Structure formats: C-alpha cells, structure tokens
Amino acid sequence: MSTAPVRMIGQHSFLLKGFASAEATNLLADIKHITSQSPLRHMTTRRGYQMAAQMTNCGRVGWVSDSKGYRYQTEDPLSDLAWPSMPRSFLTLAKKAAEECDYDNFIPDVCLINCYYPRAGMGLHQDKDEKDFTQPIVSVSLGIPAVFLFGGLRRSDKPDAYLLEHGDVVVWGGGDRLRFHGISPLKLAHHDLTGQCRFNLTFRLAS
Ligand code: MD3
Ligand code: FE
C-alpha cells in the first residue's frame, strides 16, 4: 500500500501509517509457521531478569540474550537448529518500506519477532548489536496498539511518544539509528486478528 501517509518522526525516520495493513493476514500466517518451529520465549538478561516481551527470530541469524549477554547467532538456542528462514512476504514488505523512505538495497538478514501482552513493555535502550549502523531498521506493528518512545542519543534526552497501531511501519536510519527508544507498558486491548497480543517485526542487517 504505497499510498500510506508518511510522517517524519526524526531527520532520518519515518512512520508509514497502515503500510502493512493489506499484508497483515499473510504476515500473521507466516508468524504462526515460524513460531511452530522456533517458539516465542522470554529471554533473560545477563543479570538474570526475564524480558517482558516474548521473542523469536527468522533469517540467517537471530538476536538472543542470556547469561552471556546480547548477540546474534545462527542457531536457535532452544533447538540448536538454524532459525526458520525469512518468509518472502516479510522480505518484500521490509524492502518496500525501506525504499519508500529512500533507503535503497536494504537486505535484512534477520527479523526479530517481539510479542507483547498487556502490561509488557520495553525499557529505553539503543540497538547496538549490529555490525553496520549505516543500514536502516524497519519495524512492523500488528495487533493491539502500543506507545513507542523515541528519545535522543543520550539516555537522559526526553523521548517523544507515538502511537503504533496495527499495520503501522516505521523506518529508522542515518543519525537516528542509535537513538534511545522503548515501548510503554501496553494497555489491555483486543484485536480481531491477534487477540490480546501485539507483534512487532524488526528487520535488520545484523552481520
Ligand atoms: C528506533 N522493539 O526489538 S520497534 C527492539 O516495538 C525494539 O518491539 C520495539 O526496540 C518494539 O529492539 C521498537 C523497533 C526499533 C528498533 C530499532 C530502533 C526502533 C528503533 C533503532 C533506533 C531507533
Ligand atoms: Fe530496540
């Protein structure tokens, strides 16, 4: 849906309202297939805390967190097998969204799938585990809404808040790539396609 309104949320960051809406049922079917092989799970931080969102991955590598810290690796630690491959529907949408924002030739090698239920959130953090910060990040929101917090390059910079709804796509790049960001604890809600859950697909070139 290339007619979606594009809102600038940073010098190099764009919110594409409803960009993924028409693809949502296909994306959700592909998520089902991925989670049947690599289930959603609560990862733990180096310090032993459980993350509030459940996660899994598809693609050549996957993002993991455990007592050894954060990293990308080629095997799912639950099975020691390769992560499920990235579905064509995912890749096509991510490339199309990046192109819409003039990020040409974006070829992600990982999609991190986050699943939030009401009251789950994600504290302010930077994404620094990837090799090449010149590559953008594309994120797709499905299901119940969430408030995205978009801070600055310092943790203490006051974040702006944006509502991310079903079908919204955000593209981050350039000087915004290392900005602090997070997700406010979700409010109780229901979506016909996902129930009480919000999925976020995050496409990156990690390695
Ligand atoms: C902004 N996920 O998985 S969208 C994450 O909705 C993460 O699940 C959130 O932050 C979510 O790391 C937010 C993805 C996102 C990813 C990288 C960014 C937003 C970003 C890098 C810079 C600025
Ligand atoms: Fe992040």
Number of domains in the chain: 1
Pair 71, 59: CB distance under 8 Å = no
Which residues of the chain register pLDDT less than 70? 1-4
Closest-CA residue to 197 (of 10, 15, 32): 32
Q: Can you give the pLDDT at residue 133? A: 93
Q: State the pLDDT at residue 72.
A: 98
Is residue 169 domain-resident?
yes
- Our answer on whether the CB atom of 110 is closer than 6 Å to any ligand 1 atom is no
pLDDT at residue 142, as a whole number: 99
The string of pLDDT tens digits covering residues 143-161 is: 999 999 999 999 999 999 9
Q: What residues contact residue 207 under an 8 Å CB cut-off, 6+ apart?
A: 60, 61, 72, 109, 130, 131
Regarding the beta carbon of 56 and ligand 1, being less than 6 Å apart is answered: no
30 C-beta closer than 6 A to ligand 1? no
If you measure from the C-alpha of residue 169 to the centroid of ligand 2, how many angstroms do you get, rounded to a whole number?
A: 14
Ligand with smallest separation from the Cα of 138: 1
Residue spans of alpha helices (H) in the chain = 24-37, 88-100
| CB contact set of 120 (below 8 Å; sequence gap of 6+) | 52, 53, 185, 186
168, part of any domain: yes
| The pLDDT of residue 161 | 98
Domain that includes residue 198, residue range = 6-42+52-61+84-204
